[in-house]
Amino acid sequence: MTIGITLEQARVIVANAFSKADREGLKPLAVVVLDAGGHTTAFERQDGASAMRFKIAHGKAHGAIAMGLGSRALYERVQKQAFFLDAMNALADGALVPVPGGVLVRDDKGKLLGAVGVTGDNSDNDEMCAVAGIEAAGLVADTG
């Protein structure tokens, strides 16, 4: 029975997100792994990633957990309901970053285990690296 993202799984996610970025020749990334309660399980940033990357990666993952939607879905929603997302971001003390790169993590039965936030390159590439890390850990990536 899966109870949540373990530290070992979080480390696999981070390492494989970085590996994917290296293979693709991407800019330096930062990766945050949160448990289902929104608590940080792991964070690392590659050499050269800018100082604000923790907050951005955390905001992507936190927004996914808080809203129950991947940050790509939040991005699509903000296009239609900007006032709603502005209000949610205010309630979250500005900790929602509604652009791709925040991916929910589920087990093979669909149970929510946490979220991963990646930042440093363009948002589509950030999301691609998050998915690669999650799948390498044997977990299910939910971008929606």
Residue-wise pLDDT for 43-70, tens only, equals: 999 999 999 999 999 999 999 999 999 9
Q: Which residue has better confidence, 8 or 2?
A: 8
Q: Is the pLDDT of residue 94 over 90?
A: no
Instruction: Taking residues 77-87, report their average pLDDT.
Output: 86
In-domain check, residue 144: no
Cα angle, residue 56 at apex, residues 32 and 73 outer, rounded to 5°: 85
Element (H, E) at 123: helix 123-136
Instruction: Taking residues 101-106, report their average pLDDT.
Output: 97
In-domain check, residue 78: yes
In-domain check, residue 127: yes
Q: Is the pLDDT of residue 1 over 70?
A: no
Instruction: Check which CATH number belongs to the domain holding 40 and give it.
Output: 3.30.450.150
In-domain check, residue 2: no
In-domain check, residue 113: yes
In-domain check, residue 64: yes
Comparing CA positions, the residue from 106, 30, 92 lying closest to residue 62 is 92
Q: What are phi and psi of 123, to 5 degrees?
A: -60, -35
Looking at the structure of the chain, the number of domains it has is 1
Residue 49 belongs to domain spanning? 7-139
In-domain check, residue 91: yes
* pLDDT number for residue 115: 97
Burial label, 2 (beta-carbon count in 10 A; 0-12, 13-18, 19+): middle
Q: Is the pLDDT of residue 2 over 70?
A: no
In-domain check, residue 41: yes
Q: What are the start-end ranges of the E strands in 51-128?
A: 102-106, 112-119
